[in-house]
Structure formats: structure tokens, C-alpha cells
Amino acid sequence: MAQIKRILVTGGAGFLGSHLCERLVSAGHDVICLDNFFTSQKSNVAHLLDHNNFELVRHDVTVPIWLELDQIYNLACPAAPGHYQFNPIKTVKTSVMGAINVLGMAKRCRAKVLQASTSEVYGDPEVHPQPESYRGSVNPLGTRACYDEGKRAAETLFMDYHRMNRVNIRIVRIFNTYGPRMHPFDGRVVSNFIRQALNNQDITLFGDGSQTRSFCYRDELIEGMIRMMEGSDQFIGPVNLGNPGEFSVRQLAELVVELTESRSRIVHLPLPQDDPTRRRPDITLAKKHLDWEPTVPLREGLIKTIDWFRQICIDDYRPPTPNY
């Protein structure tokens, strides 16, 4: 087996973090999951608690913590618009102070640290598809800015700690990812549509539904993230991780209705401020440096996700905010 490492996953109880913890625990690593449970719950990692190479720490990443580590995956941050807009000041603090805290820890421990950044650093892009070299078009004053600018500032901090203190960093820019264990009340498009369709409720299509997104299945995204962490120190990123298949939100709504055999109607609601009109990753760098390319088609990933939503007891989930 490869060398056992001490690995911290901040935001480790969340949708992506819990799956990452699962992968790292099953590889035999000594895993610490740190989370304040703002948008998640312990049940996401309950099945890991009886592994002696897994620890769960309730902690807020905006507050320093003293740990001895070899690697840090920094995922702590609300990711769904309704959640990050609930307390936008806290969202900025989570991204910026969280980055400073994990980078300080990485510097002290000489640990490698990976930042879960986002396609939102490209804002409402004028370049399509988006390569990593594109600097983005973000409205710094809008309601998405707390997330977009927080993540951009975190990238800046990662690069500066790398240049100034030689911290061994990685930056991945994640595009819309979906799959089992998404919070059913996170307000994101995949979870909203599936929950609504399974309950035969109206499907809430924002705007005319012509805006596009590219949806990556969770397991493939996590594989890309681990490859980036374990890859060459000569390639620190940023690297786009996402599935280049591009769909309009209307197409997604229709597909979910078809796959759930739902009686739901599609209704239109106003498009939120600064909602990006198009989004698709250019994954040339990920293919070249990580030999990584998603293969799970949207239809197949949605079937697995819908199966999971059918199994859960929705009453076990509390809406983290009123914004879903």
C-alpha cells in the first residue's frame, strides 16, 4: 500500500467532502474531517465513525486550529447560492480566513494543501468554454460576489503563500457537480428539480431556462481532486475539473421529469441577479496533466442520484437556510 498520510478535509461532512473522506479512509489514510455542519449533517459521515483511521471534529474554519498533517483538502464553504447568500459576510470570512488558517497550518507542518475553488471565479463568462487562463467577469458588488470574490481572494492567498513561503499548493476549479448525498434542500438546480419531480411539485425554472451548465458526476470529480493532490509538484493549477457536456437548464428539467416519470409541471420564476448565462469547462489541462476526463453521461448520473433521493427520508434533513 502507498504511504499512510495524515489528511485533513475541511468541509468534510458536506456533499463532496464526505465522499472524499470515504475514498481517503478506504485507501487507509489517517483522516480528520472538520466541519461546522452549516450545510451538512453528521449522518453524511456516520458510517465512517467506527473506522479507527477517521476522526470528526466540529470546528469553524474561520478559527485557527492546531493539528499535525501531511495534506489538507480545503472544502469548507457553503456552495449553493441560497446558502452562501444567507450570511454573505460569513461566506467571505469562510473563504478568506479559512484559506489563511489552512495555509498557515500547511506552512507550519510542511503539508500539501488543495483549495476547492470554483467555476464561479469566471463569473458570467465572455469566453466559452472557459480555460484556466480566462480571468473572468465577476460583478464585485452583486449578490454572488461574496462567494465568487471570496474564492478569488482564496486563490490569491494560495498563490502568495506558494510564492512567498513555498507552501506546496494545488488549486482546482470545480464546475457544477451532482450526485448522491447532495443536500435535498440546498436549492441547487439538480437537487431542487429531483426533489420537486419526486413529489410531483412544480419544477421551478429560473428565467427562460436557456442558461447552460455542465454537470459532473460526484465520483469522477473526487477522482480528479485526488489526482491533483497526488500529482506532480510542477503542476499546481489552477485546473478546471468538470464535465464538458453542456445542457440548458430547461433540458435538465425535462430530463429529470422523464427519468422520474413525474407529473410535475415546469413553471417559470425570475432569473436571479448575475446568474451566469453559459458555463462549460475547457479541460485540456486536466487531460494533459492528470489524465483525467469524465465519462459518466448526465442521464446515467441522474439515474443514480434519483435512486438515492428515493431512498432517503426527507424529514431527516433540515433546510440549512430559508433560501431553498
Q: Is 237 in the site for ligand NAD (CB under 6 A)?
A: no
Contact partner at residue 36 from ligand UDP, ligand NAD, none, CB < 5 to 8 Å by partner kind = ligand NAD
Q: Which of 6, 27, 37, 206 binds ligand NAD (CB under 6 A)?
A: 37
Under the criterion CB under 6 A, does residue 22 sit at the interface with ligand NAD?
no
Residue 206 φ then ψ, to 5°: -85, 135
Inter-axis angle of helices 249-260 and 298-311, nearest 10: 50
41 and 12 Cβ atoms separated by less than 8 Å = no
**Residue 90 is which amino acid?**
K
Give the length of the chain. 324
The answer to whether 192 contacts ligand UDP (rule: CB under 6 A) is: yes
Residue 5 or 279: the one with the smaller Cβ distance to ligand NAD is: 279
256 binds, among ligand UDP, ligand NAD, none (CB under 5 to 8 A by kind): none
Under rule CB under 6 A, residue 129 binds ligand UDP = no
147 is catalytic: yes
Single out the residue of 146, 150, 133, 57 nearest to residue 98, CA to CA.
Answer: 150
Among 73, 84, 122, 147, the active-site one is: 147
Residue 204 within binding range of ligand UDP, rule CB under 6 A: yes
* x/- letters, 104..143, toward ligand NAD (CB under 6 A): ------------x-x-------------------------
Q: What is the dihedral of CA 48, 51, 54, 60, to 10 degrees?
A: 40
Strand blocks (E) in the chain:
6-10, 30-35, 54-58, 71-74, 112-118, 168-174, 177-178, 203-206, 212-214, 216-217, 239-241, 246-248, 266-269
Please identify which residue in 79, 106, 226, 257 interacts with ligand NAD, judged by CB under 6 A. Answer: 79
Name the closest residue to ligand NAD (Cβ). 14
What is the set of active-site residues? 147
